[in-house]
């Protein structure tokens, strides 16, 4: 396994408890206690980008014609361990459990995420 933090995980080991579209509670940092939606999950880096959280100001030079110079606000990634998923049923921040359930027409066993607090399945969001 990689020891350097900048190295990326192999794809088959890259898994996160947070998915795109999940509502999360920020546990650490300047935005501690805020709830927001995950805009992007980066499992290989073990990071997530959360809408409106961890905003950094970036100074941009004018490049080609038509591109304006100035200061832009850009959401920066947070480590996945610094956010906690909020349950869609009970509305509390919770850890994620997994249960194997037969689903679909073929009744093949699939993994479903469940809330450790109330035991209800966490609603999956459609991917864009």
pLDDT tens digits, one per residue of 11-46: 777 788 999 999 999 999 999 999 999 999 999 999
pLDDT exceeds 60 at position 2: no
- Residue 38's pLDDT is what? 95
- Rg of the chain over Cα atoms, rounded to whole angstroms, equals 18
- Residue 84's pLDDT is what? 96
Do 118 and 95 form a contact (C-beta atoms < 8 A)? no
The average confidence (pLDDT) of the chain is: 88
Instruction: Name the class of domain 11-86.
Output: mainly beta
Give 81's pLDDT tier (boundaries 50, 70, 90): very high
**SS3 of 128, please?**
coil
Give 66's pLDDT tier (boundaries 50, 70, 90): confident
**% of the chain with per-residue pLDDT over 90:** 59
Give 4's pLDDT tier (boundaries 50, 70, 90): low
- Residue 14's pLDDT is what? 79
How far from 41 is each of 20, 25, 45, 56, 77, CA to CA, in Å? Answer: 6, 15, 9, 18, 9
Domain boundaries along the sequence of the chain: 11-86, 94-128
């Amino acid at each position: 396994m990689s020891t350097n933090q900048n190295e990326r995980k192999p794809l088959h080991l890259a898994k996160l408890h947070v998915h795109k579209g999940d509502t999360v509670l920020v546990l650490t940092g300047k935005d501690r206690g805020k709830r927001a939606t995950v805009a992007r999950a980066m499992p290989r880096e073990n990071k997530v980008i959360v809408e409106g959280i961890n905003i950094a100001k970036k100074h941009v030079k004018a490049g080609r014609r038509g591109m304006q110079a100035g200061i832009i606000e850009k959401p920066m990634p947070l480590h996945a361990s610094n956010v906690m998923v909020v349950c869609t049923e009970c509305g509390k921040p919770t850890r994620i459990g997994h249960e194997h359930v037969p689903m679909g027409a073929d009744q093949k066993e699939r993994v479903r995420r469940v809330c450790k607090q109330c035991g209800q399945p966490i609603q999956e969001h459609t991917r864009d």
